[in-house]
Structure 1
Amino acid sequence: MLNENKIEYSKEHEIFLKNVKKRKALIIFTQILILVLFFAQWEITARLKIIDPFLVSQPTRMIKFLIKLYQNGELFRHIFVTCYETIIGFVLGTLIGTIFAVILWWWDFLSKVLEPYLVVLNALPKIALGPIIIFWVGNGRPAIIIIALMISLIVTIISVHAGFKEVDEDKIKLLKTFGATKFQILRYVVLPSSVPTIISALKINVGLSWVGVIVGEFLVAKEGLGFLIVFGGQVAQLDMVMLSIIILSIAAYIMYILVASLENKFLGWKN
């Protein structure tokens, strides 16, 4: 007897699936190859003095400094501090921003009143508020998290609220015809239809949260990757600076992948 759970494909379909897998593997291989070639030419040109390793460092020198940080017990401490601040700022910015967007959708009058203020706050460089925030909450981790929160908050409110307003009005009218409450409309139509917008806001917030945290660490931190970048620049240790930037890039990419992995789950809710 044939296994009922076994799915049989036609030869054409199997060939198509194989081609898709080969294409994905080729893309990943090419991406890795580009990365390897980039670091290889960086190392070679630095060794041949085509570029000045003092100004741009080189991979082997960064690896030596990485080992030194690890042996001193400072590597994971600095990474943890920056990642912790970024995750807190990211989560708070997303949650608070989405809640505010729901309030603005729920109360259209308030949305109209606050619209010009949101536009001004979105255009305002949040970094300019850094000294004020430090004066208000002190020279420490809370100031860094608040700066990260402010940078992502307004963008989240505006983008998610715009997604709410783009929901098909016919669907909303249909639910109203059947006597649905505003909460039911929000739950069964507005939020599921706005999943792509919310996911896009999450992806944008990943980058904005890292920017906010690094800016905050530039201003007040005594630990973290942002602190290493500033300190390395002050003492002319470009190995420290370049290594911190590379670690930041890796951490930001991992966080982006984790957020993107949520997309399929939420799209299932939408469908």
Structure 2
Amino acid sequence: MDLTQVGTGKIIQTKARQKKKKLNPIVLYNISRLGIVLSLLAIWELAVYLQWVNSFLMGSPLGILNETVRLIQSGQLFSDMLATVYGTIMGFIIGSVLGSVVGLLLWYSTTFARIIDPFIVALNGLPKIALAPMIIIWFGSGMFSKIALAGIATFIVALLSAYQGTHQIDSNLVNLMRSLGASKGQIFKKVVFPSSMPWIISAFRLNIGFALIAVIGGEFISSDKGLGRMIFVAGNLFNLNVVWVGVLTLMAVAIFLYVVVSKMESRLIPWDAMNKQSENQ
């Protein structure tokens, strides 16, 4: 037998074993998570069956499953989920983009930034959900008011994060660019903006949750559709199974949106994603 073939075969086997070693922990983690969820559901259903838990007050896994099937068949779950996701994404994009742009532009004028700093701090400390009644009165109970509320909730976080990112830039690098004759616009384009991207994406990770909370809060107060409205109405009717359907759907939506933002991060700042991947390995 050719020694080259034997050596090649050993290399292939070694690589295959390495892949298995890398995949096994991930598979094990997922199996463990699934086992925990199934165990909790089984214990919950058993407690309801033995009447240790009042299903009227706590709901039951089988009841949640039945309500999920009913809501899917009627189309209500999809329409409510679509309304919530649309309002969240639109408010997140508008608020995060505008806030990031304003925060970056504050780098141009330190004096102006210091003047408006108290207003920014006050707006940041204000619970945004407190603005929901006024926004709904001004713009109605439709989708626009939910988008506006999510936009306000995400705007200030993006602004503060982007502006903070401009303060973390190496001053020596900025001075070097100036000594080479670079204009303020060139410094902004080549140094300030790229260096602030990790801070901006970090704000995006927070804002996707804030946008979802703002939209749900608006739907609780006044809305004709959305997961928040579905949960609110079901809660008033003491239908805990539908409330659980809404809550679990919200959790799935939050995970989905977080994954989307993570993919966005790998596209916008691939070097940072590669560094995190190398650290995990």
TM over 0.5: yes
SS of the residue aligned with 2:51? coil
User: 2:85 aligns to what?
Assistant: 83
Aligned equivalents of 1:262 and 1:41: distance in 2?
39
Deviation at 1:216, TM superposition (A): 0.4
Residues 101 and 11 (structure 1 numbering): CA distance in 2 closer, same or farther, change over 3 Å?
farther
In structure 2, C-alpha distance between the alignment counterparts of 1:216 and 1:150, rounded to whole Å: 12
Match of 1:196 among 195, 198, 202: 198
Q: Which amino acid aligns with 1:226?
A: G
Q: Secondary structure at the match of 2:269?
A: helix
**1:39 is the counterpart of 2:41:** yes
Q: In 1, are the aligned partners of 2:80 and 2:225 still within 8 Å (CA)?
A: yes
Choose the corresponding residue for 1:225, options 224, 227, 234.
227
Structure 1 match to 2:140: 138
In the other structure, the counterpart of 2:131 is 129
Q: Structure 1 residues 198-207 or 8-17, which shifts more?
A: 8-17
Q: Distance between the aligned counterparts of 2:38 and 2:183, measured in 1? A: 57
Q: 2:104 touches 2:193 (CA, 8 Å); kept in 1?
A: no
Distance in 2 between residues matched to 1:207 and 1:122, nearest whole Å: 16
Q: Which amino acid aligns with 1:36?
A: L
Q: Are positions 1:180 and 2:182 aligned together? A: yes
TM-score normalised by L of structure 2: 0.87
Q: Equivalents in 2 of 1:80, 1:50: separation in Å?
A: 37
Residue 218 (structure 2) pairs with residue 216 (structure 1): yes
Contact 1:56–1:242 (Cα < 8 Å) also in 2: no
2:243 to 232, 241, 244: 241
- 1:125-149 deviation line (CA, Å, top 9, x unaligned): 1121112112222232211111111
Structure-1 residue corresponding to 2:256: 254
TM-superposed deviation, 1:50:
1.9
Note closer, same or farther for the CA distance 1:42–1:188 as it changes in structure 2 (3 Å cut).
farther
Q: Whole-Å Cα distance in 1 between the matches of residues 171 and 16 of structure 2?
A: 42
**How do residues 14-163 of structure 1 correspond to structure 2 at under 5 angstroms?**
18-163=20-165
Report the alpha carbon displacement of residue 266 of structure 1 after superposing the two structures with TM. Answer: 2.2
After superposition, the CA RMSD in angstroms is 2.4
Q: Deviations over 1:28-84 (max 9, x none)?
A: 222222222222222222222222111111121111111111222222111111111
Counterpart Cα distance in 2 of 1:263 and 1:231: 37
Give the TM-score of the pair, scaled to structure 1: 0.90
Amino acid corresponding to residue 147 of structure 2 in structure 1: I
Shift of 1:237: 0.8
Q: Which amino acid aligns with 1:73?
A: G
Larger mean CA deviation between 14-23 and 163-172 belongs to 14-23
Among residues 164, 180, 186, which one is paired with 2:166 in the alignment? 164
SS at match of 1:213: helix
The whole-number CA distance in structure 1 between the counterparts of 2:58 and 2:67 is: 14
Secondary structure at the counterpart of residue 194 of structure 1: helix
Q: Write the distance in 1 (CA, Å) between the matches of 2:12 and 2:190.
A: 39
Distance in 2 between the 1:11 and 1:173 partners? 54
Structure 2 CA distance, aligned partners of 1:220 and 1:159?
Answer: 31
Count of residue correspondences: 266
Return the offset for 1:16. 5.7
State the distance in 1 between where 2:123 and 2:30 align: 40
Name the SS for the 1:139 alignment partner: coil
Distance 1:192 1:135 in 2: 40
CA separation of 1:185 and 1:44: change in aligned 2, threshold 3 A: farther
> Given the superposition, is the C-alpha separation of residues 183 and 133 from structure 1 closer, same or farther in structure 2, using an over 3 Å criterion?
same
Identity in percent: 32
Q: Measure the CA separation in 2 of the matches of 1:153 and 1:9.
A: 53
Alpha-carbon spacing, 1:199–1:11, altered in 2? closer, same or farther (3 Å): farther
